[in-house]
Chains A and B, each alone.
Chain A
Amino acid sequence: MVKYCDIFWSFFKVGTFTVGGGYAMLPLMQRELVDKHRWLTEEEFLDQVALSQALPGVFAVNMAALTGQRLRGAVGSAVAIVGNVLMPILFILLLAMFFRSFRDNVYVDRIFMGLRPAVVALVAAPVFTLFKNEKLKVKSETDSVSHFSLFISHFSLYFIPLLSALLIWLLGVSPILVVLAAALVGLIYGKIKN
């Protein structure tokens, strides 16, 4: 039986010592869960990664919830999640509390003016990298599918991102609605196709 404190400590390390979000945590998670503690096999780990990506929400938290559940059920899951987010939340709270008092400092302001365009660029970057991934996936399904469904795949590759961006950007539609509509359309089209 895996001890709660081991689960906590593993995810505490993963959450506290990685900067840059969920995917940056993967190498450390793999080292902790697969190599060091042998709680998961390589394959189980990759399955969990795929599942965490498929489910909505924060990737790292989903990974923690899945691993904790596998090891010690619901309590294990809670322990893993708390371990993962405890230090990040405390750190952000400290920053949020004191940010206002040093945000007006002239040097801090200059730094933030410089990094603002970089932050916007970092938001824009996944648009291109994610699109490239999808394009590769569509290209790889060329054989064994009918001309019609191939056409639909290519058409939706451009049409759906464009439509969803325009709906949100120009018409002010809530992204939440766009996501729900996409899931619904996918469900209906998937049922019809099969």
Chain B
Amino acid sequence: MIFLQLFYTFLLIGACTFGGGYSMIALIQNEVVTHHGWMTATEFTDLLAVSQMTPGPVGINTATYAGYTAVVNTYGADHLFDFSLFTFHFSIPVQWAAVLGSFIASLAVIIIPVALVFLVGRWLLRHRDNPVVATVMRLLRLAVIGLIAAAALQLIPGLLTTTPTGNVSLFTFHFSLFNLLIFLAVLLLACRKKTSPILLIAASGLVGLIVYSI
């Protein structure tokens, strides 16, 4: 059952996200794209763009979008979703089931963290300077750096090998080179100048629109 799988998957993702939205993105990529195959790598990068450009926490946005897309991709957008409740059988459009999937994903992702806020919040606040707690936090932060690096490494090949779809008169080589150029420019600006992600995404979208329209 897709809903149970979604719930369980996003429950784990929420519990294992340390150090902000990007570690959650790495976890979601691994679970949703690599492990379950609920969406393609291209859909995933689309999702990342959308979830960073719309208001709200990136983790919640990503979970909501992923939950929706997972259900639609599993059952097909033009099909009906059949389920039975007691002895009654229902057929609803897949999109309705997908809305439920998105609620389940974004609820599951916050359950364990919020439970921890209640259970250990006060304790952790008092023992912030405890050396054991500090060591655990440090190792988690270091592991998360590797986790995000792995996610980026898994996304980079897609930039260099996929040929553009649609009516584009560029050779694959130029396409790869152009991708690499935007990648490096954005990386540099984000690391060195701390330019806002929204601005960077909007600007490169505009560059894409212009370059591919020539």
Q: Chain A residues with Cβ under 8 A from B106's Cβ?
A: 85, 89
Q: Chain A residues with Cβ under 8 A from B13's Cβ?
A: 176
B154 engages A169 (CB within 8 Å): yes
Q: Chain B residues with Cβ under 8 A from A81's Cβ?
A: 110, 114
A15 engages B209 (CB within 8 Å): no
On whether A123 and B48 interact (CB within 8 A), knowing A20-B196, A59-B21, the answer reads yes
Complex Cα distance, B20 from A37, in Å, reads: 27
Q: Which residue of A lies closest to B50 (CB)?
A: A95
B14 engages A114 (CB within 8 Å): no
Q: Which residue of B lies closest to A128 (CB)?
A: B191
Q: Of A62, A88, A99, which contacts B117 at CB under 8 A?
A: A62
A122 engages B149 (CB within 8 Å): no
Task: Tell me the dominant secondary structure on chain A's binding face.
Answer: helix
Q: Of B20, B146, B158, B187, which contacts A161 at CB under 8 A?
A: B146
On whether A169 and B17 interact (CB within 8 A), knowing A15-B55, A175-B26, the answer reads no
Q: Of A21, A84, A123, A161, which contacts B155 at CB under 8 A?
A: A123
Q: Is B212 an interface residue (CB 8 A)?
A: yes
Report the minimal beta-carbon distance from A129 to chain B, rounded to whole angstroms: 6
Q: Of B24, B31, B187, which contacts A121 at CB under 8 A?
A: B187
Q: Of A74, A89, A126, which contacts B102 at CB under 8 A?
A: A89
How many chain B residues touch A (CB < 8 A): the figure is 120
A119 engages B49 (CB within 8 Å): yes
A182 engages B142 (CB within 8 Å): yes
Report the minimal beta-carbon distance from B41 to chain A, rounded to whole angstroms: 10
| Contact flags B84-123 to A (C-beta < 8 A → 1, else 0) | 0000000000010011001100100110111011101100
B113 engages A57 (CB within 8 Å): yes
Q: Chain B residues with Cβ under 8 A from A124's Cβ?
A: 148-149, 152, 156, 183, 187
Complex Cα distance, B151 from A84, in Å, reads: 28
A93 engages B99 (CB within 8 Å): yes
Q: Is A178 an interface residue (CB 8 A)?
A: yes
Q: Chain A residues with Cβ under 8 A from B64's Cβ?
A: 88-89, 92-93, 96
Q: Is A110 an interface residue (CB 8 A)?
A: yes
Q: Chain A residues with Cβ under 8 A from B147's Cβ?
A: 164-165, 168, 175, 178-179
A130 engages B58 (CB within 8 Å): no
Q: Is A97 an interface residue (CB 8 A)?
A: yes
Complex Cα distance, B132 from A166, in Å, reads: 26
Q: Chain B residues with Cβ under 8 A from A172's Cβ?
A: 34
On whether A114 and B135 interact (CB within 8 A), knowing A120-B183, A161-B143, A168-B146, the answer reads no
| Contact flags A121-157 to B (C-beta < 8 A → 1, else 0) | 1111111111100100100000000000000000011
A168 engages B179 (CB within 8 Å): no
| Contact flags B133-162 to A (C-beta < 8 A → 1, else 0) | 111111111111111111111111011000
